Amino acid sequence: MKKCEVIQAGDPCLKQRSQEVPPEAILGPDVQSIIDDMIVTMDAYQGVGLAAPQIGINLRIMCYGFEHNPRYPNALPVPLTIFINPVILNRSQDIQTGFEGCLSLPPLRGEVPRYQWLEVKGYDRHGNEIIKKAEGFEARIIQHEIDHLDGIFFIERIQDFKHFGLTEVLKAHEIIP
């Protein structure tokens, strides 16, 4: 279990579609150790979520969850969740706009429109198929991380750049907490 470097914006690794994990490989030591490294790395950098390409591995694995997060101080706790090969089954008509950041682009935040809720299918780390319905900030994180698996950055989703800026400056003006 080790803390990895988080790959930063500009690296081609973050711009490609990651590959599915063969289900029979989930319980193997390689995939299990990738998951362990992702959890340690996410916590070490105080992320709310992390996708495998952010540690340089182009496989469709994502994790998210936190108790209290200083980068998103108003966010309610979200249980630690691992999704392998996540697929969106269903989603709301409603779109909500909210601020997002990214460990691969830490100095910037912007307002991104996302589905208010969604239903996702995938595997957990034990190789069990899971279906989860999530809403609000959790649904936002899931969409952000699935985007990473497809090589898409949150800034590509921004429709209105009025509230885009440097994290420090947005905080100083109390535009974000």
**Residues designated catalytic:** 145
C-beta closer to Ni ion: residue 129 or 150? 150
We find the least distance from the C-beta atom of residue 29 to Ni ion, in angstroms, to be 26
Q: Which span (29-37, 70-78, 94-102, 128-136) binds Ni ion, by CB under 5 A?
A: 94-102
The answer to the question of residue 146 lying near Ni ion (CB under 5 A) is no
Distances (CA, A) of 64 to 35, 60, 144, 161, 172: 11, 14, 11, 26, 27
- Minimum distance, C-beta of residue 140 to Ni ion, in the bound complex (Å): 11
Contact 154, 167 (CB under 8 A): no
CB of 119 to Ni ion, least distance (A): 22
Nearest C-alpha neighbor of 109 from the set 64, 153, 62: 153
* Size of residue set near Ni ion by CB under 5 A: 1
Within 10 angstroms of residue 152's Cβ, the number of other Cβ atoms is 16
Interaction between residue 102 and Ni ion (CB under 5 A): yes
Q: What is the DSSP letter of 139?
A: H
**Site membership for Ni ion, residue 176 (CB under 5 A):** no
Paired with 109 in beta bridges are 165
Instruction: Name the site residues for Ni ion (rule: CB under 5 A).
Output: 102
